[in-house]
Amino acid sequence: MAHEIERKFRVTGEGWRQGQGTLLRQGYLSREKESTVRVRLVGERARLTIKGITRGIRRREFEYEIPVEDAEVMLEELCAKPLIEKRRYRIESGPHTWEVDEFFGDNEGLVIAEIELESEDESFEKPAWLGEEVSDDPRYFNANLVEHPYSTW
């Protein structure tokens, strides 16, 4: 079965900025505690993702490619608003890749770095621009940023 093991951190400074990044738009069809269902559009590709309840830094995750046209309709007509809009930067660091998300819209000003790991106790190099860990703080879950955007904190 598919699992995601992810740690999440606030980002400080500008040392993480590399290249142009990739624009993402995503919305949620379901944001229940036990499972979330997300639609994500990245350029000419779209995915439907189902995530289970988070236990520590681990949760079940299933992801499927869907037609872009379907994703666009879901985002506009079926997903809770506001949509999550962000630019993602991928930064290589040793054997790992950091994904740094710079949020826009109602979440403007929020910058989060995530790293996916093979195990919960796997060690990794922490870049100088990495700030406070927020893996256990549900305010930083993308699904929660819909109902409680960063601009309202």
| Cβ neighbours for 12, distance < 8 A, ≥ 6 positions apart | 129, 130, 131
| Cβ neighbours for 28, distance < 8 A, ≥ 6 positions apart | 36, 37, 38, 39, 79, 80, 143, 146
Q: Are 100 and 89 in contact (CB under 8 A)?
A: yes
Work out the burial of residue 72: count CB atoms within 10 Å of its CB; fewer than 13 is exposed, 13-18 middle, 19 or more buried: middle
CA 46 – CA 39 distance, rounded (Å): 7
Nearest to 148 by CA among 112, 110, 101: 110
64 is catalytic: no
Annotated active-site residue in 28, 64, 140, 150: 28
Instruction: Supply 50's token pair.
Output: 């189902």
Enzyme catalytic residues: 28
